[in-house]
A and B are shown apart, each in its own frame.
Chain A
Amino acid sequence: MDISNRALAIFFVFAIGFSLFATLINLDEINKITGRAASDTGETNFTIQSDIQIVFTTSQINFGTGSVNNTDGGPTICENCTLNSESTRSFNCSGFNTVATGFVIENQGNLDVSLNISSNETVAQFVGGNSTIRAFQWKMAQAAEPGSCGAGLNPTSYATVTTTNTTACTDFNSAGANNVLEMDIQIIIPQNASTGERAATITAWGWE
């Protein structure tokens, strides 16, 4: 059976209409596709727990072993040996170490704190001998990182250690570049101090 030209014409007109309709449908569907997430917002939550942490990064001062000489021929009772952590080692000291570095105390927490210090030994217990000569003293400084103590640095010259709490700094900073204090120690050993080993513990802690 032959198809008439009229039938072919109707077929082609229908094909054109269908093609246009299909194109419009495709375009409409494509516009619905974004390829992107509906939201590009991110959210991060975290909590920093405050921390108070005081650390001795230099934790031992060892003056070594020695004795006190009577080198100037004066009364033995007046002779003494002075040692400190700033390289002082007086001429009457025989033996003993020259110590150039004191304690280094660092605030490794994330809060500014008050720093308290104390010793477990009195000067009489630690050094002994003539009470008018003997000494066991401490001194605070902030030479390595000035500004580490915002207020109340104490004592800044040698003062007798205490077994009760002493406030060494009322505003010890925790900031990384300004959070280090030094504590120098000085002892004066009378000639009549008893022989033997000595050890004293200095305790430091911070409180907010």
Chain B
Amino acid sequence: MKKKMIFSEFFRNNGLGMGSLLIALVGFWLIFLIVLPQLSMLDYSFRFNLPPAEQGGPKDFYTLSNYEHLLYGSDQTHQTYNSVDLMVFVRTIIAAMLVTLFNIVLCYPLAYFLGQSKGSGFVRLLVVLLIIPYWINEILRAFALRIIFGESGLLNEALMFMHLIREPIDFIRQDIALYAGLGYAYILLMLFPMYNVIESLDRNQIEAARDMGASWIQIHRRIVIPHAKPGIVSGATMVFMLTAGALAAPQILGGPSSLWFTQLVYQWFNDSLNWQQGAAYAIVLLASTIVIVLTVMRIFKVNMGDIGK
């Protein structure tokens, strides 16, 4: 009953034509591009990978086998765990968290500096310099790091030239290049939300605290960080989700023996052509990252509405 009233009000405000156009566009987006695709992927993940002829037949019933494969591998008796895939999963999540922390630590001082020194030409130049790498393709940025970290790359040559090392270090095989690349890829998505909230902080608050004798650390802990919290959490959420779901950087910078969880999904889809298995892995990735993000938001008491500001 109430809903009807809202709708009638909506159409009264917008007219029948405009109102239905708005509803149609939003409805198409939410239903056909977001909700139904996710649901059909969920449905897919509970099915067997059958040839087209057997689909809808007696063999086509719901199963947990795709999820069991992640836990136990191809072992039907469930005696041994699928340690390879599980390790990849755990590594992906933990590495994404570490990359996020690294980005927070690296960006906070710069966001504070940019946010609190208003309007000078130097700061404007810095902001322009920050925006430039943001528009360079993700793949090209990974490629740039590969040039630097390669076996005969710039970093190895420089270190050997300075006699710090005698033999080239294999940064790619040791995953140093991968972590540097992941940290590099989304750093600006951390910086800009932080910068926006710190910019809105009244400088008088900091000065008042300083006049009252607060130390440098106290100012940050009691004033700046609580104020910047929504920005920090928003940036951290985006960086964490994007890092955990990154595909280009691991494909280009990852060592031959180490995989990222998205690469497993990619392999199920494109190499093994087992969409059902790939969908199950994708669901696991989506669900676990969402749970982690919601937990962190609950711990730091930040609302969904703060994201994207």
Asked if A pairs with B, the answer is: no
Query: Using a CB–CB distance below 8 Å, which chain B residues touch chain A?
Result: none
Query: Using a CB–CB distance below 8 Å, which chain A residues touch chain B?
Result: none
